[in-house]
Amino acid sequence: MKSSRISRVIQILTALQAGKSYAVNDLSKIFGTSRRTVFRDLKELRAIGVPYHYDARTGGYTIEPEFFLPPVDLNLQEALSLLLLAHKASNQIQLPFRNSALLAALKIENNLPAKIRQYCNTALRNISTRLGAQAPIRHPGGLDRTFAQLQEAIARKRKMNIRYHSLFEGKVIDVELCPYHLLYNRRAWYVIGLSSLHKSVRTFKLNRIKELKSTEKCFLGGEKFDLYDYIGRAWSMIPEGRIYNIKLRFLPRVANNVTEVQWHSTQKVTRNSDGSATVEFRVDGLGEITWWILGYGDQVLVLAPKALRNKTLQAAKNMIKLNEQI
């Protein structure tokens, strides 16, 4: 049997041993193979004496969880948090090597004591997650390939040639990049590094990378790159080089929703007698926070600075003008 097939058969064994029932279609999707290949792999498991069985009620296959693997010493909370991430949130997070992460979780799940595994499986039926929209990966190799190439380049300190759809420049640009750091922030993955085109450290969104190619050129530096120093007090991840004292007043309708979230490390909240809330920040730049403020529409007043009030007001006027043209 070829090594690739051996690896796949072992992975199927791991999945089935989680104690759940997996239909052939499920296994086909997980491992990216045809139904025929799955049936052939199941036959191979039977030939080597693995005691799986078919459940006619669920239409799937399972293996007794106790089959030759020792238990793992996790408590209820540890086990539930791990399985929550693996089975509920992994479909909604752009997790690189997602299938590998799922298989790793299944291996641990297989080894849980029966009572803990039963408790977790029951609890998970009553838990759901909704993490919102995610930026799609358009690079032909997908997230795994893009992430792996960049990760290797960072480890080996190799320059990368990328073709990138830049919204700022409004065109596709070619950049020789010295990659320093990978960051997941607000629904998408980014690579941060020294750009030959911009002669400075820049941020590139992975889903806008059209082509990615490693070079044999090494780069110096980067080991002292500090993400916090780079982002500083930016609202999200784009510092503009100037700190502003932001003061906003949220009306009672949204005050509770706003103040129950820690939006920025410098956040300061004052509750007002009328039910409104005054929220203050010290933020580097006005661009990112302007769009956040606009999301609250007529439920927020910009008290300071004047530059932010003017910027928000102009954006609102442009929005009205644009929509009045329809």
Distance, CA of 206 to CA of 27 (rounded, Å):
29
CATH class of 243-324: alpha beta
pLDDT at 113: 79
In the chain, what percentage of residues exceed pLDDT 90? 43
Across the range 47-52, mean pLDDT stands at 75
The stretch 271-289 carries a mean pLDDT of: 96
Lowest mean pLDDT among 90-104, 271-285, 300-314: 90-104
- Whether the pLDDT of residue 181 is over 50: the answer is yes
- Checking if the pLDDT of 69 tops 60, the result is no
| Selected residue with higher pLDDT from 188 and 247 | 247
Q: Where in the chain is the domain with CATH 3.30.70?
A: 243-324
Query: What does the pLDDT read at residue 1?
Result: 46
Q: Which two tokens stand for residue 77?
A: 């909370």
Report the pLDDT value the prediction gives residue 315, as an integer from 0 to 100: 95
Higher pLDDT, 18 or 154: 154
- Region 234-247: what's the mean pLDDT? 92
Ranking 31-45, 120-134, 185-199, 239-253 by mean pLDDT, the lowest is 120-134
Is residue 68 very low, low, confident or very high in pLDDT (cuts 50, 70, 90)? low
pLDDT score, position 178? 96
pLDDT-above-70 percentage for the chain? 89
Q: Where in the chain is the domain with CATH 2.30.30?
A: 142-231
Please tell me the predicted confidence (pLDDT) of residue 82: 76
Residue scoring higher pLDDT (245 or 64): 245
Does the pLDDT of residue 185 top 60, yes or no?
yes
Task: For 147-165, write each residue's pLDDT tens digit.
Answer: 889 999 999 999 999 999 9
Angle between helices 76-84 and 98-110 (to 10 degrees): 150
Predicted confidence (pLDDT) at residue 247 exceeds the cutoff of 90: yes
Reported CATH class of domain 142-231: mainly beta
Can you tell me the mean pLDDT for 169-187? 91
pLDDT of 180 over the 60 cut: yes
pTM exceeds 0.75, yes or no: no
- Min mean pLDDT across 63-77, 105-119, 293-307 is at 63-77
